[in-house]
Amino acid sequence: MKSAFLIACIIVAGICASAEETDFRLLTWDVRVYPEPTPERQDLLSSVLDRHQAEILCIQELPRAYSARTFVEREYVSECAFLDSSDFYDCAVFSVAGFTLGNPPDPVGFLHPPQRATCSIATYDVNIVSLLLLWDEGNLAKRSAERAILAEEVKNMLSESPFLILAGVFHTTGLAGDTIEGLAEDLGMIWVRPLNYDEIATVIQGGRYDDVAAVTPSRGRYDHILVSPAVLDVWEIEARILTFDDDALALQVSDHRPMLADFLARRPG
């Protein structure tokens, strides 16, 4: 039986509506587990988070409520929206003080339950969803059904607020009719193209990252971010795929590269 909880270590009432204070940073990462089982792996994960200090984190593949609670205790974040299920591939949204999360009902009908959170940023009510879509490429019927559910959920969320961010793993193949760009268009969303998109092309070797950007760019193993048009009306987004000096260790933490995005408020003039 599922049990929902909201961790809120610090609640800050009100966020300034000043345009100068609406910038924020979002990082999305599909990790293998949390906490990490070795000090080296834990140090790498925490060092990436500490280095970039994103106000909002979308994390995928957390196995238990314990994982989410421990994440808040160990990392720099103060809040978490998380739904514990029996799937062991659950998603979470974390935030820092000043970015208070609401925990509305989550999208349903997915193999790996997405996590939805709301966040009031300046004067805007933003829906944020951390998700991990079905990866079984051999079962196109299930994948199509899940994406149809996602399309309906997106429609419903946009009817509540025009500001929507989807972040996580979409498992598009990059083949004709199955690209991240095409999926975004089908959803009425916009794919955030990373600034270093054309540079990521990692050699396929055993358990290494199989980013095949040189052939089918949108299949690369890194998280993606989709936003609604209204988000781009308010923020300019500069995103990049994060890379590591020690790929071997990083691969033990995740076989997906994290995505980091700066949401920069569009200012008059």
pTM for the whole structure: 0.87
Q: H-helix or E-strand containing 71?
A: helix 65-74
Q: Tell me how crowded residue 123 is: count the other CB atoms within 10 A of its CB.
A: 12
Angle between helix 140-160 and helix 180-187 axes, rounded to 10 deg: 50
pLDDT in tens, 220-245: 578 899 999 999 999 999 999 998 88
Rounded Cα distance, 253 and 40, in Å? 10
Beta bridge partners, 235, equal 265
In the sheet with 224-227, reading across from the earlier edge strand, the strands are 101-102, 115-121, 124-132, 163-169, 224-227, 190-191
Sheet strands (E) in 190-265: 190-191, 224-227, 235-241, 259-265
pLDDT in tens, 30-67: 998 999 999 999 999 999 999 999 999 999 999 888 89
What's the mean pLDDT when you consider all of the chain? 84
Best CATH choice for the domain 3-11+21-265 from the list 3.30.365.10, 3.30.420.40, 1.10.3720.10, 3.60.10.10: 3.60.10.10
pLDDT in tens, 155-185: 999 999 999 999 999 988 777 778 889 999 9
Beta bridge partners, 262, equal 25, 238
